[in-house]
Amino acid sequence: MIFPLPALRANRGQSQRSDVLADNLVAMAAYDLQVVDEGATLADAHAVRRRVFIDEQGVPEAVEMDDRDDAATHVVAHEADDGAPVGTARVRTLDDETAKIERVAVLPDERGNGLGAQLMVRAEAVAREQGCRRVRLHAQVAVESFYQRLGYQTVSETFDQAGIEHVEMTKSL
């Protein structure tokens, strides 16, 4: 199933920050955001993650390609012109009310076009569809401010994950 921008806007959160984000998405580049098994494939998500996390950031393959993919919902963004996968995010339900958004990745040539924000809006919508009322994530410190602009709050000190400094962040849906 393809989730075009109008569907993303209809599913946005109720906070003022989310309203501003959703309104700004209209002016951003268009991508086809799909959920794995509804048009995208796990191989598409893995291709993006391999380029960003393993090749670019040096995360060991055994750490990146973990055993949690089968228990997750994957959102994959494809370039509208040629259909190539260019971004991804993974959503796992942790308990009855909490989801964890993980493995958010955008290829270097697509960064700065609003794709990361679109992926997060769709990943949050997946969490809501699964009955979750809050989400958490481990953000790389280098992109902590990106998540803050999306309404996430830092709830931990920095910690090492796969050799990269991270913080835990949460958001109510």
Ordered by start, the domain boundaries in the chain are: 2-133
Whole-number pLDDT of residue 81: 82
Beta-carbon contacts of 143 under 8 Å, excluding residues fewer than 6 positions away, are none
- With beta carbons less than 8 A apart as the criterion, state whether 98 and 128 touch: no
Residue 55: strand, helix, or coil: helix
Whole-number pLDDT of residue 82: 85
Angle at 74 between CA 89 and CA 160, to 5 degrees: 45
Whole-number pLDDT of residue 154: 98
Residue-wise pLDDT for 68-107, tens only, equals 998 899 999 988 888 899 999 999 999 999 999 999 999 9
Residue 107 CA to its chain's centroid (Å): 13
Query: CA 173, CA 171: separation in Å to the nearest integer?
Result: 6
Whole-number pLDDT of residue 21: 42
82 compared with 155, residue with greater pLDDT: 155
What superfamily in CATH does domain 2-133 come from? Answer: Gcn5-related N-acetyltransferase (GNAT) (3.40.630.30)
Average the pLDDT over 12-34 and give the result: 46
Query: CA 42, CA 73: separation in Å to the nearest integer?
Result: 10
Residue 129: pLDDT band by 50, 70, 90 thresholds? very high
* Model pTM score: 0.80
Whole-number pLDDT of residue 165: 97
Residue 38: pLDDT band by 50, 70, 90 thresholds? low
Mean pLDDT of the chain: 83
